[in-house]
Amino acid sequence: MHHFKSDIFRYSVFSMVLFYAAIVIAYEYTQYQIKSVMVEHIEWITENTSLEYNGETLPSVKRRTADEMAAMFYGLNEDPNNHSENDRKVVKNSNVSALYNFRTNTLYFKPDFRFADWETTHILVHELVHFLQMTNNRYGDNPCMPRLEGYAYMIQTQWQKEHEHPADIPNGLRIMTLITAGC
């Protein structure tokens, strides 16, 4: 006996399962690619600095706009409607391209940031230095944020020079000012 309707039903269930399986595989593959890119840069950092990596959980990745990241960085209210005149100025004048939250081990990137994009890889390397500063207990109880920032820029500079990366080299004087900050 041939049941035409149930065949269609079976076929559509089957294609739906295939469709979702494809989505899951694509998602898993992207996660895998992101992780391998991170591990590759982490290896370079550990080979060229005193920071070590011992298989700690890699940061989770979230997407935020530059303004949202600026608000997070300066500890402002999440809702821009609650920002004062001064808050708005702070957000407008800052240009945050990425952030690392060492308390939650989270990396924040702009929505259009691509892990495979060579032009912006220096940003990823910089943020991964912060990740390793966290796993190597450099934040401690009372972190000296400017100094940690200075070292991240210093290592980023070294990475850019070694890879002849096209992005502008961070300002050396500013790095020295950050590193010698009295905390």
Smaller CB separation from Zn ion, 72 or 83: 72
Q: How distant, in Å, are the alpha carbons of 32, 42, 159, 175 from that of 179?
A: 35, 22, 18, 6
Q: Which of residues 58-97 bind Zn ion (CB under 5 A)?
A: none
Judge whether 139 and 148 are in contact, CB under 8 Å: yes
Q: Which lies closer to Zn ion via its Cβ, residue 68 or residue 149?
A: 149
**CB of residue 130 to Zn ion, shortest distance in Å:** 6
> In whole angstroms, how close is the CB of 153 to Zn ion at the nearest point?
7
- Using CB under 5 A as the binding rule, whether residue 154 contacts Zn ion is answered as no
**Angle, nearest 10°, between helix axes 121-135 and 145-162?**
130
Stretch that binds Zn ion, among 41-49, 56-64, 74-82, 150-158 (CB under 5 A): 150-158
Taking the complex as a whole, the smallest distance from the CB of residue 161 to Zn ion amounts, in Å, to: 18
HSE-CB for 140 with a 13 A CA cutoff: 8
Binder of Zn ion out of 152, 154, 155, 178 (CB under 5 A): 152
Q: Applying CB under 5 A, does 155 fall inside the site for Zn ion?
A: no
Stretch that binds Zn ion, among 40-48, 104-112, 145-153, 157-165 (CB under 5 A): 145-153
Helix axes 121-135, 4-48, angle to 10 degrees: 70
Nearest-approach distance from CB 80 to Zn ion, in angstroms: 23
Check: CB of residue 127 under 8 Å from CB of residue 172: no
Q: By three-state DSSP, how is residue 61 classified?
A: strand
Q: Which residues bind Zn ion (CB under 5 A)?
A: 149, 152
